[in-house]
Amino acid sequence: MSGAQVPASAPALQALAEDAWLVGFGDSVDTATLTRVHALAARLDRERLPGVTDLVPAYSSLGVFFDLDVVGADAVARWLQAALDRDDDQPRPPAGRVVDIPVSYGGRFGPDLDDAARELGLDADTLAHRHASVVYTVAMIGFAPGFPYLSGLPATLALPRLATPRTRIPAGSVAIGGHQTGIYPRDSPGGWRILGRTPLVLFDPSLEAPALLAPGDRVRFRAIDADTFERLAGRRTGAGE
């Protein structure tokens, strides 16, 4: 994602479904737009209208879902429009948590690390170090339950997806896809370049908060060795090593 400042687009409200509205902020994928999306989500959450069930941020839009047995679509639209009309004070989203994610880079955990490094003109250790030296922001959750799309990847580390996606990527795989990085929360197909793997569980439907990460959280990757990976396998956090 680019950090460059671009002219702000006026937010537009459109029906997503009979029980959902979509607030769009244009087509730009940049830090300023993402900040506006998260700021609006935080404001609406603080001032939540009864019957609004979920707020789902994406890179340049916000989905607003509601229960038609509690509140009508027109009432939700008026509530959203009133919030948008007050959007001139440039509210800031809450800082969010900082979550440390241990990652074992390369080898059996990161089968694409060596090839990706060569493609970028780096050695594998340098690529792993640069990937782990950034504080990322969870832009949105999507693709699969608990899958975090992380913004903040340096432009010099962007990589195209694989020409032929894998049929199975192990849960916890940390990967680059285009100008984003992310973590696969469960075994699934995928075409991103796998640099390493975290032993942490990113999604557990048995918990009250199934997803480890939420939009607005910040993520720091921390390189670990294979022995530490095995000690932490199946945990929810990397604390207490």
Helix axes 31-46, 73-85, angle to 10 degrees: 120
Q: Which amino acid is at 140?
A: M
Question: What are the tens digits of pLDDT across the range 66-120?
Answer: 999 999 999 999 999 998 887 655 556 556 689 999 999 999 999 999 999 999 9
Residues found in the chain? 241
- Integer-rounded Cα Rg, in Å, for the chain is 19
Residues 64, 126, single domain; the answer is no
Question: What are the tens digits of pLDDT across the range 171-196?
Answer: 999 999 999 999 999 999 999 999 99
User: CA nearest 204: which of 226, 237, 232?
Assistant: 237
Distances (CA, A) of 124 to 61, 108, 121, 176, 199: 36, 14, 10, 14, 20
Number of domains in the chain: 2
With respect to residue 2, please indicate whether it lies within any of the assigned structural domains.
Answer: no
**Last-in-domain residue among 51, 72, 89:** 89
Residues 151, 204, single domain; the answer is yes
Residues 73, 180, single domain; the answer is no
**Last-in-domain residue among 48, 65, 89:** 89
Both tokens of residue 114? 């060596």
**Residue 9: is its pLDDT beyond 80?**
no
Residues 112, 44, single domain; the answer is no
pLDDT at residue 3, as a whole number = 44
From the number of C-beta atoms within 10 Å of its C-beta (0-12, 13-18, 19+), residue 170 rates as: middle
Residues 189, 127, single domain; the answer is yes
Tokens 């050695």 identify what position? 123
Residue 175 sits in a domain whose CATH number is 2.40.100.10
Side-chain-side CA neighbours of 187 within 13 Å: the count stands at 3
Question: What are the tens digits of pLDDT across the range 128-143?
Answer: 999 999 999 998 898 8
* C-alpha span between 182 and 175 (Å, rounded): 6
Residues 79, 160, single domain; the answer is no
Residues 44, 112, single domain; the answer is no
With respect to residue 238, please indicate whether it lies within any of the assigned structural domains.
Answer: no
Helix (H, G, I), strand (E, B) or coil at 62: strand
**Residue 57: is its pLDDT beyond 90?**
no
Residue 217 per-residue DSSP state: -
pLDDT-based confidence at residue 223 (cuts at 50, 70, 90): very high
pLDDT at residue 108, as a whole number = 96
Q: Which domain holds residue 104?
A: 98-232
Residue 84 sits in a domain whose CATH number is 3.30.1360.40
Q: Which residues pair with 21 in a beta bridge?
A: 15, 64
With respect to residue 110, please indicate whether it lies within any of the assigned structural domains.
Answer: yes
Residues 70, 178, single domain; the answer is no
With respect to residue 185, please indicate whether it lies within any of the assigned structural domains.
Answer: yes
With respect to residue 241, please indicate whether it lies within any of the assigned structural domains.
Answer: no
Residues 85, 103, single domain; the answer is no
Residues 70, 118, single domain; the answer is no
With respect to residue 57, please indicate whether it lies within any of the assigned structural domains.
Answer: yes
Residues 84, 104, single domain; the answer is no
Residues 37, 129, single domain; the answer is no
Both tokens of residue 84? 């948008």
Q: 111-115, 174-178, 221-225, 233-237: lowest mean pLDDT where?
A: 233-237
**Last-in-domain residue among 89, 108, 142:** 89
With respect to residue 46, please indicate whether it lies within any of the assigned structural domains.
Answer: yes
With respect to residue 159, please indicate whether it lies within any of the assigned structural domains.
Answer: yes
Both tokens of residue 124? 């594998």
Distances (CA, A) of 108 to 6, 161, 170, 197: 41, 19, 11, 9
